[in-house]
Structure 1
């Protein structure tokens, strides 16, 4: 199994004007790892929950891939891109760290 690093979960349920309930954010060290993490998430979600993403963006460049499951949006970054955008701070929300 391919795993992302530095996993954060941001609870957006109490934010106004949000369609989704959670952001899940992680990073990989390279373009190929970010793409592998994305494929792993999609495959496991289909396998375990029979759910396909509603929308996926960023596969071609592999710097930041967004997988939209409507109520949950997964952001997979290359580490340098994650640090640059720092979306955890942008939403300044209650963060829940990786439960593992």
Structure 2
């Protein structure tokens, strides 16, 4: 595998991880968006409030958004590295051809 294709593969992996992580965040956001544990049930309300505190109030959901953004930035940087290597290889090839 050439260096540029390795970086392209890394970019694809980072994008896939970002999508999966964001899907998880969206799923958990839907779960904590409504009390499915019972409004008239003391244990259900307590469980819902604890879950909401653990996921939303603690900043966990916000951290997931940050991680998704970081993975997307990593993917863009990997793409840039792949393009840089490819361009450098092409320039070297032209120089060798001219000599």
Same fold by TM-score, threshold 0.5 exceeded? no
TM class, shorter-chain normalised?
under 0.3
TM-score, with normalisation over the residues of structure 2? 0.22
Higher-Rg member (1/2): 2
The higher-RCO structure (CA 8 Å, 6+ apart) is: 2
Q: Which has the higher helix share?
A: 2
